[in-house]
């Protein structure tokens, strides 16, 4: 399905996986969408999150033609410590 974004347009960023109930089924589970100017910034934010929480990291960013910047989505489990 399509979801509205902050600009009022109705679309989903290409390549962005949908959020499923399992991703947020329990307290402490979350989905984080990062919007950044470039890949380095998006991955730096993901790495910062990973120092504090257990995450299922994204391995790539996505770009929407005609839109500025990149997007990255990772899944966080606040109930677990990050990997050593």
- What is the tens place of the pLDDT at every residue in 37-67? 999 999 999 999 999 889 889 999 999 889 9
pLDDT band, residue 71 (cuts 50/70/90): very high
Exposure string of 1-23, with b = 16+ CB inside 10 Å and e = fewer, is eeeeeeeeeeeebeebeeeeeee
Angstrom distance (rounded) from CA 72 to CA 61: 5
Domain range annotation of the chain: 1-84
- List pLDDT tens digits, range 16-30: 555 555 556 788 888
Q: Quickly state the pLDDT bin for 11 (edges 50, 70, 90).
A: very low
């Amino acid at each position: 399905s399509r979801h509205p974004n902050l600009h009022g347009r109705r679309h989903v960023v290409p390549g962005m996986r949908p959020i499923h109930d399992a991703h947020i089924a329990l307290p402490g589970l979350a989905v984080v969408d990062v919007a950044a100017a470039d890949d380095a910034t998006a991955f730096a934010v993901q790495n910062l999150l990973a120092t504090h929480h257990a995450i299922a990291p994204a391995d790539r960013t996505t770009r929407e033609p005609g839109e500025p910047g990149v997007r990255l989505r990772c899944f966080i489990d606040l109930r677990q410590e990050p990997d050593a």
